[in-house]
Amino acid sequence: MDFSYTPEQEAFRMEVRRWLADNLPPELCIDDPVDDWVPRNHEIFEKRRAWQAQMYTAGWVGIGWPRELGGRGASLIEQVIFNEEYGRARAPILPGYSGISMCGPTIAQAGSDAQRRRFLKRILSGEDIWCQGLSEPGAGSDLAAIASRAEDRGDYFLLNGQKIWTSAAQYADWMYLLARTDPNAPKHLGISYLLLDMKSKGVEVRPLVTASGHHHFNQVFFEDVQVSKENLVGPKNQGWKVAMTTLSYERGATGGGYDSQIRGLVDLAQRHQIDGRPAWQQDWVRQRIAQLAMESKAAKYTRLRSLTRQLKGQPPGPEGSMLKLFGSELGVRIGFFASEMLGPYAQVAQPMPVLEDAPRWHNRVINSRQYTIAGGTSEIQRNIIGERTLKLPK
């Protein structure tokens, strides 16, 4: 592994840093982007959408996309540098995240020319915001068990069924989804990948509020919704293959950001009092933070090892599942430790004179568990590591 950057890469880092310093409105900065990636209300959503449009105009959205599709054609290393600087500036996750990182690349790879022309630019600019309609009440880890039906009616599909845990559907203009188009085919066949205009007649979005009081996700119901055949991605009944493309981008998008949380913990320990003195003066506090810092570094170097493989053009190793498992569980350990240090204050979701940033820590504690579920649960990652890496019997 080579940890140094070339002078060109350092210059690129400075260019990103300067642009963010000059343009990012301070009111949009957040302490923990991962805990707040779905905007809390429409006002925040619109501000973040305007921010995405501003970034797009300056050429900073989807920088890894090829130039002919509206991106910057940035190298992998440049994307890593960009993400580091973006996190360092405490900039918010863009509202168009799902389209930029998952659906857009899928349309680019598996969509028709007409779909590429119609959707890709608008995904980058934030004119269209997308949500992901994969999970259903009976289909999560076992995604191929989806039951939503899309009946072929000539020019269109007639869609009926339900999605669940749909993050940010309340803001979305479009949804990419899987529906069953041949109920008699074996489970992984007979599924199609469709693009749905959320304003279509028969689509109903109902909120699901998390334990932290945040309207993060939704249930989405379809009742006799007409989806034009133009919005089928890939061949009919072969949506499973297309969905695997989307999910490969989702796995690539998870992980990271733990160093800044550890820095937050150190700062908290220096301010928060336990038994009349700063928590930082307690041995057990410093030891636990040191342990978490080591784990964060281990995750970082595993991520870099994975990056090195990609840069050498080698096939992906087991790092993807290891990082997803280790990173999300580390997030839980950080949240758990924050709650131990804060005691009853961890339960307060309002700023207090003794703890101005109480809501941040309350969120961290309550929300950390969700990342061990989203994008593939910890148990599923353990199965993958056991079966594919350790070659354990099924």
Ligand X SMILES: Cc1cc2nc3c(=O)[nH]c(=O)nc-3n(C[C@H](O)[C@H](O)[C@H](O)COP(=O)(O)OP(=O)(O)OC[C@H]3O[C@@H](n4cnc5c(N)ncnc54)[C@H](O)[C@@H]3O)c2cc1C
Residue among 167, 261, 296, 306 that touches ligand X (CB under 6 A): 167
166 vs 339, beta carbon nearer ligand X = 166
User: Rounded to the nearest whole angstrom, what is the least distance from the CB of residue 217 to ligand X in the complex?
Assistant: 6
Q: Stretches 226-234, 261-269, 299-307, 377-385: which one binds ligand X (CB under 6 A)?
A: 377-385
286-345: contacts with ligand X (CB under 6 A):
none
Q: Rule CB under 6 A: say whether 75 interacts with ligand X.
A: no
Q: Please state whether beta strands 273-274 and 232-233 pair in parallel, antiparallel, or not at all (unpaired).
A: unpaired
Q: Stretches 4-12, 39-47, 161-169, 186-194: which one binds ligand X (CB under 6 A)?
A: 161-169
Q: x/- site string to ligand X, residues 198 to 227, per CB under 6 A?
A: -------------------x----------
Phi, psi of 229 (to 5 degrees): -65, -20
Assess whether 250 carries a catalytic annotation: yes
C-alpha to C-alpha distance for 63 and 44, rounded to whole angstroms: 24
Residue among 57, 141, 347, 389 that touches ligand X (CB under 6 A): 141
Q: Dig out the tokens for 314 from the structure.
A: 């080698």
User: Smallest Cα–Cα separation from 367: which of 217, 265, 225, 223?
Assistant: 217
Task: Considering the candidates 84, 127, 151, 250, report the single residue annotated as catalytic.
Answer: 250
User: Rounded to the nearest whole angstrom, what is the least distance from the CB of residue 334 to ligand X in the complex?
Assistant: 17
| HSE-up (13 A, CA, CB side) for residue 11 | 3
Residue among 30, 253, 374, 384 that touches ligand X (CB under 6 A): 374
Secondary structure E strands in the chain: 130-133, 149-152, 156-163, 174-180, 191-197, 203-208, 217-228, 232-233, 273-274, 277-278
Helix, strand, or coil here: 233? strand
| Size of residue set near ligand X by CB under 6 A | 18
Helix, strand, or coil here: 77? helix
User: Rounded to the nearest whole angstrom, what is the least distance from the CB of residue 250 to ligand X in the complex?
Assistant: 9
Alpha-carbon distance values, 102 to 149, 241, 284 (Å): 23, 14, 42
The residue nearest ligand X at its CB is 140
Q: Dig out the tokens for 136 from the structure.
A: 């259903």
User: Rounded to the nearest whole angstrom, what is the least distance from the CB of residue 164 to ligand X in the complex?
Assistant: 7
Q: Stretches 63-71, 160-168, 184-192, 241-249: which one binds ligand X (CB under 6 A)?
A: 160-168
The gap between the terminal CA atoms of the chain, to the nearest Å, is 34
User: Rounded to the nearest whole angstrom, what is the least distance from the CB of residue 248 to ligand X in the complex?
Assistant: 15
Q: Rule CB under 6 A: say whether 132 interacts with ligand X.
A: yes
CB 239 within 8 A of CB 233: yes
* Residues labelled catalytic: 250
Residues that bind ligand X (CB under 6 A): 131-135, 140-141, 165-167, 217, 370, 373-374, 377, 379-380, 383
